[in-house]
Chain A
Amino acid sequence: MSLLEFAKGPALNFALVVFLVGVLWRLLGIALMRFVHPHTEARSSFGKAAAGGLRTVGSRSWPHPEFVSRTGYGEALGYSYHIGLIVVVLFFAPHVQFFKSLFGVEWASLPSGWIDVISIVTVALLIAVLLRRLTNPVLKRISNFDDYFSWFVTVLVLVTGILATLHLGGPYETLLALHILSFNLLLIWFPFGKLMHAFFIVPSRWINGYFLNRKGAAS
């Protein structure tokens, strides 16, 4: 079995199972926990509070006007590289074919030239993100291994993908195998680190908003 078959076959299968087990464990582990019983009297109905929760999801995902001069750069960076990642992951033709092989559905893809440019820009943005983390004293203080490793596996997948498509540093099938192996590493790391924010970010913002609105606090 060649490295590529190993990456696409047993390694990918293993990584997917670990991903599935890990994600379900963390999601159900939290969802089935007993939540703190609110002792205050409900000022809003469930419906109003739930809608308020949704508003919070929106408002917390956008820079607060008062702090935009301080947080704008970081937020712009964050949004840009996330958009870059989404476009590259979902609209590169070989990726679409990968998802088709996994889920059985496919969608339109973008020309590979666009993807080349967007992925290189995304790597540049991620480097800017790392530099910000290293230079901003507060961010640096609150960063741990999880932050750096999650950054590393994301960049690793991107960089190996770019090297593979541009044939830089080795034969295509070897670079492709390394790209898939690094993706497998990301899948395995995903449930256990901060990459889980992809699943948590909306529910956690919503539940905060829900409780605040239930109490009648502004959100």
Chain B
Amino acid sequence: MTRVELPVRVATPAPPPNAGVLAILTEIADRLQRLAETGERSVIELQNIPMTRADRAALEGFLGPGEVDAKLDLMGQSTVRETGCRGVWWVEHRNPEGRVVSESLEITVVPSILVTPAEDIVDGAVELQERLNQWPASAGGEQDET
């Protein structure tokens, strides 16, 4: 009998979370449940929670990597990543100097920063229409000539 090499990679186990990290994870689980049942979105602010680098790594490791990794250029970079626990998003905002000004976990369908503001949609529609209005006149003219 030969051993079959399965294309399976065993995930390296995340470091065991300590009591503080466990408390945050329990809170996330609780809120995720509420999101599923009532659609209530919520945010856990991470900057003012005292965590060591190891705690942070443990939290990140436990939640795991997800499918979405968005980068936003908003006068300083922002990153929005969905974690392996779907519905839990890791949102980080940096200022133009690269310092983290806000870091939070959003338990939601899609983080508010990714949603296009309603006014931008209105502005966008108007702008596109204006551009289209300029185009047919010249395009039509070219077609007539051939």
**Chains A and B directly touch (beta carbon < 8 Å):** no
